[in-house]
Each structure stands twice: as structure tokens, then as C-alpha cells.
Amino acid sequence: MTNATTPRHDTKNPLTCCPRCYKAELLGRAMRSPIFRYDKVDADERPLSYAVYHGAQHVATLSRRGASGPTAYEVRVVAPGGEQELVAGSLRDARALAEETYTVEL
């Protein structure tokens, strides 16, 4: 196949297909208010962590740090250009930050 005018888009995995599909998918999600799922990560050597999923896609990781305060939680959001590292003062803030960043990020 060398026909460049009919590119095939991976509609089952739009986030990893191409920037155009990624953007379109996020726009669609923003309108439908994406539902996120949280899985507690069981790992002895790591602090309390939650993996954030949108559908089957792992989109962020929330980790409790040692100290409390405005940086008590580390928020890593998976983005096409690389991971974004953010901090939050509470689990609630960390979740809101992750969802917001994932939804608008490009």
C-alpha cells in the first residue's frame, strides 16, 4: 500500500494513532465527560500509589509522598510528548489534577 491519500487510522487506539486522532478523541471525551477508573497499586517497595485508567488506557499515576503538605502527592500524567510531573496536596486534588491534565493535554 503506497496510497498516501487514504491513511489508515487506528480508531480502536486513537490516542496512539496520530496527533489528529489523539486530539479528536480528547475533544470527544471532553464533551462526554470521561469516566476514570482508579486502581490501587500493590507494590511493597513503592509508596501508596494509584493507577488512573480511562477505559483500558493507563493515563496517570498518583503516588503518596512521605510528607504531608502541598506536595504530598505526586501526579504523573502520560502525554504524547512525554510524562508530565505535577504535585498536589491531597488525593482529591491529585485526582482532579490528573483528570484535568489528561483531558486538556496535548
Cβ contacts of 101 within 8 Å, gap of 6 or more: 60, 75, 77, 79, 84, 86
Please state, in angstroms and rounded to a whole number, the distance separating the CA atoms of residues 27 and 57. 16
Q: Which is nearer to Zn ion, 18 or 41 (CB)?
A: 18
Out of 2, 21, 26, 76, the only residue in the binding site for Zn ion (CB under 5 A) is 21
Out of 1, 8, 18, 61, the only residue in the binding site for Zn ion (CB under 5 A) is 18
CB atoms within 10 A of CB 70: 10
Q: Grid coordinates in use for 56?
A: 483500558
9 belongs to the binding site for Zn ion (CB under 5 A) = yes
Percentages of the chain per state (helix, strand, coil), in multiples of 5: 30, 30, 40
Q: Which is nearer to Zn ion, 24 or 87 (CB)?
A: 24
24 belongs to the binding site for Zn ion (CB under 5 A) = no
Least separation, in Å, of the C-beta of 35 and Zn ion? 23
Among the listed ranges 12-20, 31-39, 71-79, 97-105, the one in contact with Zn ion (CB under 5 A) is 12-20
Q: Which is nearer to Zn ion, 18 or 87 (CB)?
A: 18
